[in-house]
Amino acid sequence: MLQDNPLLTQLKETLRSKIRYVEGIVKSTEKDFGFLEISQQKSYFIPPLFMKKVMNGDRIIASIKHEKDRLIAYPEKLIQPFLKRFVGRIEKKNNQLFVIPERSLPKQAIQCKPNIHFMRYSLQEGDWTIAEMLHHPLTGSQFFFAEIIEFITNEKNDLAPWWVTLARYNLERESPNIESPTEMLDEALDRADLTKMPFITIDSANTEDIDDALYIEDIGHGNLKLIVAIADPTAYISSGSVIDTVAAERLFTNYLPGLNIAMLPRHLSHNVCSLLPNKRRPVLACRVIISSNGTPDSDVQFFAAWITSKAQLIYNNVSDWLEDPQNSNWKPKNAIISQQINLLNQLRLSRHQWRQKHALLFQDRPDFRFLLNKKGEVLDIIAEHRRIANRIVEESMILVNICAANLLRDRFGFGIYNVHLGFDPMHREQAATMLTNHGINTHPIEIATLDGFRILRRQLDAQPNNFLNTRIRRFQLVSEIKTTPGPHFGLGLEVYATWTSPIRKYGDMVNHRLIKAIIKGENGIRPSDALTTKMSERRRQNRMAERDINDLLYSRFLKKSISSAKKFSAEVIDISKNGMRVRLQDNGAIAFIPASFIEEERNDLVFSHIYGHVKNKNGILYRVTDIVEVVIITVRMKTHSIIARLAKNY
């Protein structure tokens, strides 16, 4: 038979051996064709007929053939699908159900069916859902097919963007609905009765989950005695209980604009454990003595206690009074509270001085808060600066967190630690070279040490602008959550571990239990590395969800600025080959200025991300940290991107 001909078999093998296979990412276009991207510099054309077998973002293996003076990619094997679990909107066509993935490019309708075990809702046009891909053309199916596994919300819901964003990152959309304990556990802890002491709390005006209270006393010779009392949810929640398991899954309270999803049941976080005024509450406390120059005494005491907060104060009120006591609209209700505030401010000044000399300080940058109505519409964006009262609480919390980090390190050698190791070892040489080129002489080995990093940061902070600080940031590692102690270069500290927000952070609950074990003279249970890995991932997901909601709200808010030609002051924060990214100083929104909106003669421009500048033949025109005036040109609601141009070119 012909098929048994050995010469034909040999010919087939020869032809097959000449076919080249490559792996890459599919990139769709607004038209029917696409490309297989191998690298930033290399890609292959995928014909329209074969684009029906793949989806934008799929990682595939394709055969490459030379046809009509062009290299063509033919999809052969799926390595990793772009869509597995995804969010999409329902569309109905010809009595069939389809789901449109929210981030598909271009719009791609995937036939689907609801999972009968999960769906108790009759799906309607425009409904937001979660789907799972069941079939893919490169795995033997004729077409894409998905299963709807969860209903999110309908398109008429004003808060749909919030629910969709949370679903996108597989985050909870509500606080835990679990029956909360009202009786405390028998922990065999002696609790000191501090209910007569004038503890105060200082928070934002709308804070309900109050987790820290402060008491301070002048004990003479320039020394201050500070007691920081922290809410104690582990007094009610046993390790391994239902609530503990839920908290260990959520790991953080998720704060979004106009919405927060608590880690613990609200009855616990906003009532039973919250350090509300005039309510007797169990706490875990730290007592530390600070000298006039801000140095803490080595004899730090951790203990369990009862307290009753005597005043619930608000950051702005306290700051107004401290800045201008005579003209402030708010005043402390009595002399005792006045004395507490003044002594705490004295502590702030001394601790600020200590950190400036022995550690590192935060760079000041305001937070921006969206003022929303009930429909989720942006009424205004408010800049919230870190004022005196914010710094009082900040310095107090940092101080006792350092104390806890030292205690856990010395007694157990483990805990939940925040670790930042400074420069990436792979990039220290580049960082040192760049700094030398800008007049700061340093050595890669020096900046790899905590002392060397501190010295460098102080030199950079003394610069007339923040340009070099922004440039070296790309050479640094990100902070990590670890079970073993390590330095935190960003804070300039040898060790750092938090325990001051146990209502909001599960890692702080873990550290509470370890501190209690030390108080009782027991052995602590070492937390698993799997827990810290999960914490890092959940923190990343929460931040991405917040970023996405922020982008949406900024887009909505600034859309009205297009017709007004309003000018905004903005800081250049990044340079790419296509233009500049800027941050509006009034509200924190990020906008992009395309290269064509910077100079008419674009051919003369050089855009450098590495050097952080735009220049032409005459020199540098713009660089990162420059302040420019911009006008909003357009807002792309589908991608939540804001496009601006320089006001001088408008």
Produce one character per residue of 91-121: b if its CB has 16 or more CB atoms within 10 Å, e if not.
beeeeebbbebeebeeebbbebbbeeeebee
Q: Is the dihedral of CA 48, 54, 57, 61 positive or negative?
A: negative
Contact 268, 233 (CB under 8 A): yes
CA-nearest of 494, 497, 484, 496 to 528 is: 484
- For residue 4, the SS3 value is helix
Whole-angstrom CA distances from 567 to 127, 541, 550, 561, 630 are 39, 34, 21, 9, 6
* CA count, 13 A, side-chain hemisphere, 291: 7
Task: Please say if 315 is a catalytic residue.
Answer: yes
Task: Please say if 127 is a catalytic residue.
Answer: no
The residue annotated as part of the active site, out of 127, 203, 320, 626, is: 203
Pairing of strands 200-203, 311-314: parallel
The residue annotated as part of the active site, out of 58, 127, 211, 626, is: 211
Q: What is the CA radius of gyration of the chain?
A: 29
The residue annotated as part of the active site, out of 315, 496, 506, 554, is: 315
Task: Please say if 504 is a catalytic residue.
Answer: yes
How far is residue 465 CA from its own chain's centroid? Answer: 26
The DSSP 8-state label assigned to residue 252 in this structure reads B
Q: Is the dihedral of CA 172, 174, 175, 180 positive or negative?
A: negative
Contact 124, 90 (CB under 8 A): yes
CA-nearest of 546, 586, 478 to 258 is: 546
Contact 63, 74 (CB under 8 A): yes
Task: Please say if 211 is a catalytic residue.
Answer: yes
Locate the DSSP E strands across 4-156: 20-28, 34-37, 43-46, 59-67, 70-80, 85-93, 96-101, 110-114, 128-135, 145-153
Contact 54, 46 (CB under 8 A): yes
Whole-angstrom CA distances from 342 to 288, 292, 294, 319 are 18, 14, 16, 11
Q: Residue 534 is which amino acid? A: K
- For residue 631, the SS3 value is strand
Q: Residue 278 is which amino acid? A: N
Contact 274, 503 (CB under 8 A): yes
The residue annotated as part of the active site, out of 89, 504, 538, 645, is: 504
**Region for 619 from its dihedrals, namely left if φ exceeds 0, alpha if ψ lies in -120 to 50, beta otherwise:** left
d(CA 492, CA 327): 38
d(CA 583, CA 466): 14
| CA-based end-to-end distance of the chain | 78
CA-nearest of 339, 278, 329 to 307 is: 278
Whole-angstrom CA distances from 321 to 202, 328, 352 are 13, 5, 20
Q: Is the peptide bond before 106 cis (omega within 30 degrees of 0)?
A: yes
Contact 490, 379 (CB under 8 A): no
The residue annotated as part of the active site, out of 127, 212, 232, 626, is: 212
**DSSP for 489-517, written as a single string:** TTTTBS-----S-TTTBHHHHHHHHHHHH
The residue annotated as part of the active site, out of 58, 127, 168, 209, is: 209
Task: Please say if 203 is a catalytic residue.
Answer: yes
Task: Enumerate the active-site residues.
Answer: 203, 209, 211-212, 315, 504
